[in-house]
Structure 1
């Protein structure tokens, strides 16, 4: 069965205007794009009767685009709009200041003026439509059934290319453009997720620096995007700092991710596969879940955005849902991208109550988006307490797979020790010299650190380096053994919790490591053999 192609913003406007929807609301910072679309629709052949376009702002009142006007209160302007004798699209700005925003209540006279205009526009002989444009508005209850919300997506590749062509043509006499077709495509992709104004600013900054536009300017445009994402306050642009080689063990998870590299590209459609939805990684704290998320961006070569669910919830009624929608819309605009939610149970683990249903609505918004998102945004979520998440979050179809990360095996600990020692003793480090990272030494360290997490191994190396620093000497093997002996690992202090997580994962998750750790822990001091008999290492995938 063929699915319908989603309607564009202009096509949606045409349908709603034809259907005599009296009041539309467009939530955007890009008022100019709304005006451009309204003018194209008003004079286009799709409407049986052409429309005028009249704007309203607090400073200029009702006015024709490009012409002067005089200040008028919005309720008076709406009363004048109702009396218009020609079919008109009224595009009103600034109404959010009067209909409730930033915690301020709506003005009753303003609410009534919109209701009166809605009634007149719906049933009047002369077809009018009111389009309210606002960067953010929480509708009063009285207007919820009268107003139709229309989504204006962030600019697509075609619109960004138009801006790029415009600024290049305007400065052609004084700049040098040195871009291959592939570099030009990457430059435009770097600008995706920006408004047209922000994209134009980014291209202008790149040109102004050296009067050239070349591949080196891609980083500058990405920096502009990073600033924009930071200003949203909800998403954080994470710069990749490592590779999968920095992650010790977790071979199953690494192979799973490597096989899906590039699956969002158009060529993948020839294999009849959809873009991957996401992965949920749960397990013992300190065993590489977050590190995998950050290194995955390097593996796939995609921007990594971190969503802080705590920032989504604010004190203003209705703004939490708006925050979530805005964050998800931005993640899609930047696509293909990776959306990372760290310790997701802290944000969605108590979606059931105590806050008048806000958590439940925000959670529902996120679930619906995960199920229906059309742009390739890969969600990587990490959780330490998987049982705290609601069951509907874990059902098949939300994530492509759920992986369990256990304490590292001996082989993985050997790899982690090598990574951490190379990191601390490499280069010009004063600590290097008296300790050789050979297989025998690493094997001894791995044996002694049974039950340690990757984070605990990293801290043991740091502690040993402090020992060497305190005596201003080189690091030796005794320092590392002493650091191990002085560390009480999580496998001891939280043995019961760890075994409970293992019990959950034994039938519900895929093991992130390719070797079961059961044999090690059945004989270690971290937990008794009886405690771990239910642990089977998770389902093994034949990669």
Structure 2
């Protein structure tokens, strides 16, 4: 059974050929796969009406029919075009890597070849026999002179059905040999195939073969081998970074409301979700107080969902060459979609659009923002976007409209229960050596003492308190004591004191625009503002009552 995406491509291509489009451009790394599909279209009378011969050209082989070698003279690009002009039978001419004549990689464009292409356009349209030229290259290079003459045709990477077919062929071939153990149920097989989406058929075959030979078996654990192949794609991109993490969702203290929301959407890109007619989730915007776990959530979701995590560096998007910034964001989006399903993490997203209203960058930020918004609204690939922001007042209102993100979460200062969880996590993780532990006990009274003394501290500050206490013990070559932790607390001025006004401001914003990442039952424990800075009017008036930021919606 042929895949629907291939059927759609064949139909679209045949319509363009029948309509006498003179020059088509297919940008793909899968040259042989594309050639196979084009030859299939050229010989199917039901699609193309008038069947046609297929000629291929390359700098090394010249112009020739399949299985033949071209003449030495036809290797020259202009001579190749003259051959096309003189040929008087129905035909499709496939030019491999002809983009070198258009100038790329520092090469100078060939003006004679470009002019000849333009001269050939009316000749192809008016030819007595239908003739079309297809440019087949791994990259899209079009000189200004030809942008109105050449039609770009998208050729998608292998679909899930094609990947599954390849996987089944490999499983059947190796199962009968008895040398490879296959241990996959249908859901695990589906997950393995989906992990390979974004690879070419050749890359996917290599990844599956490598997974089999490494330990003589193919099972659900081999998803990591497939993801390693995807990392090769990301390594070639200077804009995206592949983040490898083993951080578990249990390693993030608190934020249970946000965790529950994410947990309910696990496996939503698998076929089982289609039974409920569910769309793949678009993403979440996580804003709030700095140092409270926004970035940790992005890393933990990647491990929980077993999806690759790509970090988009907004700073690398912008470039000094006019037009290249827009191209960078398009490349980043294409790369993310190529290896979908995946998670795209945009850290501190507000920094990327700081120049939108000022116009100081000739509108570059606005154009990039528009491209990103359109993609967020219309994307069909399973790319889950996690955007984090500290300065929410810099975020354009268009970004927060429903349809861009599934939900906006606000991360506030940790509650009493959340601080207890954070302390327990960091102390348990770092105190593993009996010599360091000594007589120290992580009892309920110890945790209560630490939690009560750290009201208004963010998660990052709580971690640093544990680290500072360990340095204190290390410097004296002894086990850790409760006094070390208490000393670290006394010498720390929390962010809630140094940035009290900013925290108050973002809480007011979040009360009507965002959902609290902390569940309702945990929020009631936190009754007061953190202590005010010594000597301030707020400190003289005593603690100020307040409502925590974020709407109380529980998932």
TM-score, normalised to structure 2, is 0.88
Q: Which runs of 5 or more structure 2 residues have no equivalent in the other structure?
A: none
Residues 219-260 of structure 1: CA distance to partner in whole angstroms, max 9, x if unpaired? 333322222332334433333412222111112212222232
SS in structure 2 at match of 1:519: coil
SS in structure 1 at match of 2:75: coil
Q: Who is 1:188 aligned against? A: 193
Pair 1:534–1:433, CA change in 2 (3 A):
closer
Contact 1:297/1:338 (<8 A) preserved = yes
Pick which of 92-101 and 446-455 moved more.
Answer: 92-101
Residues 143-180 of structure 1: CA distance to partner in whole angstroms, max 9, x if unpaired? 22222222111112333244445556777658435244
In 2, distance between residues paired with 1:435 and 1:83?
90
Pair 1:516–1:278, CA change in 2 (3 A):
farther
1:119 equivalent to 2:127? Answer no
- Number of matched residues? 539
Q: Who is 2:393 aligned against? A: 387
Q: How does 1:221-232 map to 2 (within 5 A)?
A: 221-232=226-237
Pair 1:208–1:37, CA change in 2 (3 A):
same
Pair 1:250–1:165, CA change in 2 (3 A):
closer
Q: Who is 1:404 aligned against? A: 410
Pair 1:445–1:161, CA change in 2 (3 A):
same
In 1, distance between residues paired with 2:328 and 2:66?
32
Contact 2:458/2:494 (<8 A) preserved = yes
Determine which of 85, 89, 107 is the counterpart of 2:88: 85
Q: Who is 1:46 aligned against? A: 47
1:268 equivalent to 2:273? Answer yes
Q: Who is 1:22 aligned against? A: 22
Q: Who is 1:540 aligned against? A: 552
SS in structure 1 at match of 2:380: coil
Contact 2:529/2:545 (<8 A) preserved = no
In 2, distance between residues paired with 1:120 and 1:175?
59
SS in structure 2 at match of 1:521: coil
Deviation at 1:455, TM superposition (A): 0.6
Q: Who is 1:428 aligned against? A: 433
SS in structure 2 at match of 1:159: helix
Q: Who is 1:478 aligned against? A: 483
Residues 289-308 of structure 1: CA distance to partner in whole angstroms, max 9, x if unpaired? 01011111233333333233
Contact 1:100/1:137 (<8 A) preserved = no
In 1, distance between residues paired with 2:318 and 2:261?
33
In 2, distance between residues paired with 1:213 and 1:258?
27
Q: Who is 2:131 aligned against? A: 128
Q: Who is 1:520 aligned against? A: 528
Q: Who is 1:176 aligned against? A: 180
Q: How does 1:430-509 map to 2 (within 5 A)?
A: 430-509=435-514
Residues 266-289 of structure 1: CA distance to partner in whole angstroms, max 9, x if unpaired? 343444442221100011111000
In 1, distance between residues paired with 2:310 and 2:116?
42
In 2, distance between residues paired with 1:369 and 1:258?
25
Contact 1:20/1:129 (<8 A) preserved = yes
In 2, distance between residues paired with 1:97 and 1:288?
49
1:99 equivalent to 2:113? Answer no
Residues 41-67 of structure 1: CA distance to partner in whole angstroms, max 9, x if unpaired? 111121111122211212222222332
Residues 42-100 of structure 1: CA distance to partner in whole angstroms, max 9, x if unpaired? 11121111122211212222222332223623233223212221122222122222213
1:334 equivalent to 2:339? Answer yes
Q: CA RMSD in A?
A: 3.0
TM-score, normalised to structure 1, is 0.89
SS in structure 2 at match of 1:36: helix
Q: Who is 1:76 aligned against? A: 79
Residues 170-228 of structure 1: CA distance to partner in whole angstroms, max 9, x if unpaired? 77658435244434444333322211221222233334446655555443333222223
Q: Who is 1:146 aligned against? A: 149
SS in structure 2 at match of 1:154: coil
1:295 equivalent to 2:293? Answer no
Q: Who is 1:60 aligned against? A: 61
SS in structure 2 at match of 1:538: coil
In 1, distance between residues paired with 2:261 and 2:18?
49
In 2, distance between residues paired with 1:348 and 1:76?
50
In 2, distance between residues paired with 1:499 and 1:517?
19
Q: Who is 2:31 aligned against? A: 31
Pick which of 408-417 and 296-305 moved more.
Answer: 296-305
Deviation at 1:13, TM superposition (A): 1.1
Contact 2:456/2:531 (<8 A) preserved = no
Deviation at 1:518, TM superposition (A): 7.2
Pick which of 330-339 and 44-53 moved more.
Answer: 330-339
In 2, distance between residues paired with 1:309 and 1:208?
39
In 1, distance between residues paired with 2:364 and 2:277?
39
